[in-house]
């Protein structure tokens, strides 16, 4: 449908307006792009998008946080074309992650207004100058941690915290120091250079991973964060061994993925710790053998875990982001060879102290981000592993909602009713 100086493409619950900045009546070069949506996985059944929006500013819907502790506002935003080294993506799905909630609550220092979201999957709509790793029509994951393949972290065989990341600290801008989003004439900041709570987003090429064309786009988004962060912490970062005993602090999305990784690695006992007992049945289904609610104990949880195991656990994982639970995880480990892996992130400047007299005994304390995977190299393989039934991510997704129900999705998350809720565009 051509209406004066713009084209309207009707989607499920709202429309996307394509602004032509060149003339009042645009010439439209049409091509066919297919993508998977909902439960559709077979490419023969995919819906077809017809449009070439290359070089044009797109007006679409996005969820904006105008300030911390303020409800998200779903509004129309303008998304500029990608510049050199950038990719514009039509989002198909995005998960609700605890990191997004921390940002909205002001627990992570960010610049506002911003568009949250980082765990995403979509279709490449257009590319900027010099982009060669993806092309329009490719299925991709957005990467909250990029891989430039040039910095000291990327070049080191064990490093993955790329120096071109925008997490610590966060500028809220693309690498050239500018934003691609505007709303009501005001600049809108990016989150981790991903901002997946939008129908379209712009990401650096180094922050995009091309994935298998057979990937189901209503599920695969969680491989951009939840799966590598949790599952990867167990199988890749800690390298859990067969027959070992593990404890997981926090049985939300990330903790559940840790449990899945521990079980896949052959752990014989997996202790789950959480104050929300409604999570216990699902945790047991994923592989937890013992569930503990610290609030019902008469002594510190680490003492109870020591009594349960007799010697302490082989591997402890903290997936909450509190200094107290970090200490508890450390003190749950075997004194000589236990490994404590910190996944959770505390607010900045939060003190974290250990008994210095007990550190020398041999225990290992380790932090991890996205399972220590080199993101562009490894995430496509995780997708392939899922397609080949080597890993099963399906149990980690308990809810799927259309993007316009994003407020309900956050309500479910904050009420502890979901492991992972995926938004569908």
- State the catalytic residues: 97, 99, 102, 118, 225
CA-to-CA distance for 14 and 16, rounded, in angstroms? 7
Contact 234, 265 (CB under 8 A): yes
Token digits of residue 224: 């951009």
CA-to-CA distance for 394 and 384, rounded, in angstroms? 14
Whether the upstream peptide bond of residue 188 has omega within 30° of 0, thus cis, is no
Contact 209, 234 (CB under 8 A): no
CA-to-CA distance for 146 and 154, rounded, in angstroms? 9
Place of tokens 């060149």: 22
CA-to-CA distance for 200 and 92, rounded, in angstroms? 9
HEC secondary structure over 153-213: HHHCCCCCCCCCCCCCCCCCCCCCCCCCEEECCEEEECCCCCCCCECEEEEEHHHEEECCC
């Amino acid at each position: 449908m051509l209406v004066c100086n713009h084209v309207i493409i009707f989607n499920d619950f709202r429309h996307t307006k394509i602004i032509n900045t060149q003339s009042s009546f645009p010439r439209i070069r049409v091509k066919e792009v297919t993508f998977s949506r909902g439960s559709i996985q077979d490419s023969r059944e995919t819906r077809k998008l017809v449009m070439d929006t290359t070089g044009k500013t797109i007006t679409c819907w996005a969820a904006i946080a105008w300030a911390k502790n303020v409800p998200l506002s779903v509004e129309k935003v303008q998304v500029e074309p990608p510049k050199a080294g950038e990719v514009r993506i039509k989002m198909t799905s995005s998960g609700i992650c605890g990191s997004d909630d921390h940002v909205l609550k002001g627990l992570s220092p960010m610049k506002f207004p911003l568009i949250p979201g980082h765990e995403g999957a979509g279709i490449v709509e257009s590319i900027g100058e010099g982009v060669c790793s993806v092309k329009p029509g490719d299925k991709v994951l957005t990467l909250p941690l990029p891989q430039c393949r040039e910095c000291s972290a990327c070049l080191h065989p064990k490093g993955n915290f790329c120096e071109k990341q925008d997490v610590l600290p966060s500028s809220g801008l693309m690498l050239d120091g500018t934003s691609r989003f505007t709303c009501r004439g005001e600049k809108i900041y990016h989150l981790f250079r991903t901002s997946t709570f939008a129908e379209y987003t712009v990401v650096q090429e180094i922050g995009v991973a091309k994935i298998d064309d057979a990937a189901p786009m209503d599920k695969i988004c969680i491989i951009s964060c939840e799966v590598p962060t949790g599952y990867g912490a167990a199988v890749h970062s800690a390298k859990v061994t067969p027959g070992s005993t593990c404890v997981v602090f926090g049985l939300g999305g990330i903790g559940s993925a840790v449990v899945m990784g521990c079980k896949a690695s052959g752990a014989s006992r997996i202790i789950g710790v959480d104050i929300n007992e409604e999570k216990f049945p699902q945790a047991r289904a994923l592989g937890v053998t013992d569930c503990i609610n610290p609030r019902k104990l008469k002594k510190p949880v680490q003492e109870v875990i020591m009594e349960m195991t007799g010697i302490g656990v082989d591997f402890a994982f903290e997936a909450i982001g509190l200094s107290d639970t970090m200490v508890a995880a450390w003190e749950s480990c075997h004194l000589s060879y236990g490994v404590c892996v910190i996944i959770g992130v505390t607010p900045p400047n939060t003190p974290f102290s250990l008994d210095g007299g007990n550190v020398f005994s041999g225990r290992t304390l380790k932090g991890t981000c996205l399972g220590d995977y080199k993101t562009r190299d490894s995430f496509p393989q995780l997708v392939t592993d899922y397609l080949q039934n080597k890993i099963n991510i399906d149990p980690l997704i308990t809810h799927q909602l259309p993007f316009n129900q994003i407020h309900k999705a956050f309500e479910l998350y904050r009420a502890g009713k979901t492991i992972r809720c995926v938004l569908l565009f």
